[in-house]
Structure 1
Amino acid sequence: MKLRDKLKSSLRQWKADVFLRADFAALGSEAHLSRVLRGLVDAGTIVKLGVGVYAKAKPSALSGNPIPVRPVEVLAPQALKRLGIKTYPSKLVAAYNAGSTTQLPANIVVNTGNRRITRKLGFGRKFIQYENNSGRAI
């Protein structure tokens, strides 16, 4: 069985919507795995959210182009969890959930505790921003 077929079979059985390149490292060499993943991105089976981070894809109802199966707001915390980064609600989301404001947050902001993150995650024009407990956006 070719690596492309093995990878597609694994993705069908994969329950999570987000997966890392390292999850499939045992299937083949790094170069071959990179070529197959790039081919799956080009075919519209998966979309790339960041370096080594991919998500399952579906065709857009408007344009027909591949988009993630879930919004970036949902996929980003899942991806960070898979990378071993604990996330918390941002200050704006916490204030909205507490009822102290009725303003919805406009951007995707994730609180990473005291950890500084520089990884760029997102799709299209939506990328997540990070804040840590000091309150300043990174």
Structure 2
Amino acid sequence: MTVQDRVARFLEQTSDVVILRAELRHLGSNAQVGRVLARLVRAKILIRVSVGAYAKTRVNKFTGELTPAATFEHIAWETFRKLGIDVSPGRAARDYNSRRTTQVPVQPVVNTGRRRITRQIVVGSRAIIYERGFIDD
């Protein structure tokens, strides 16, 4: 069984949308896994979200094109969860959720607390924006 077959079986069996490269480490050497992931990205079976983080795709029922298998926000939160990074919604989202304002937050902003994060999480033209500071609720 080739490394590509093992990776394909892993992708079929997992219900997660986000796949970390570290989760595939046991399936082959670093170079082999890297080549398989690059091949899957070129075939649009996976999309690269961040360094070492990939998201599954699915066929859009309206356009027939391959799109991410979940919303951008879900992909970002799952990536943070798998990486062990604690984040919370940004100030605008907290104000909207607590009904202090009726303005719907448009940009995906997360609060990292005191932690400084430089990891870029990008899907298409959307990217996570970080804000630092204490949560003042």
TM-score norm. by structure 2 comes to 0.92
Residue 34 (str. 1) matches residue 52 (str. 2)? no
- 1:49 is matched with 49
Cα deviation for residue 19 of structure 1 reads 1.4
Most deviating of 76-85 and 60-69:
60-69
Question: Do the aligned partners of 1:18 and 1:79 also contact (CA within 8 Å) in 2?
Answer: yes
Unaligned runs of 5+ in 2: none
Distance 1:31 1:86 in 2: 30
Tell me, yes or no, if the aligned pair for 1:108 and 1:129 is still in contact at 8 Å: yes
2:31 aligned partner, one-letter code: A
RMSD between aligned alpha carbons? 1.5
Moved over 3 A (4+): 60-65
Q: TM-score, normalised by structure 1?
A: 0.91
Hey, what's the Cα distance between the residues in 1 that align with 2:81 and 2:132? 16
Which residue number in structure 2 is paired with residue 14 of structure 1? 14
Q: Secondary structure at the match of 1:4?
A: helix
The amino acid of 1:112's aligned partner reads T
Distance 1:62 1:130 in 2: 33
Amino acid at match of 2:46: I
8 Å CA contact 1:25, 1:33 repeated in 2: yes
> Which residue of 1 is the match for residue 98 of structure 2?
98
What residue in structure 2 maps to residue 122 of structure 1? Answer: 122
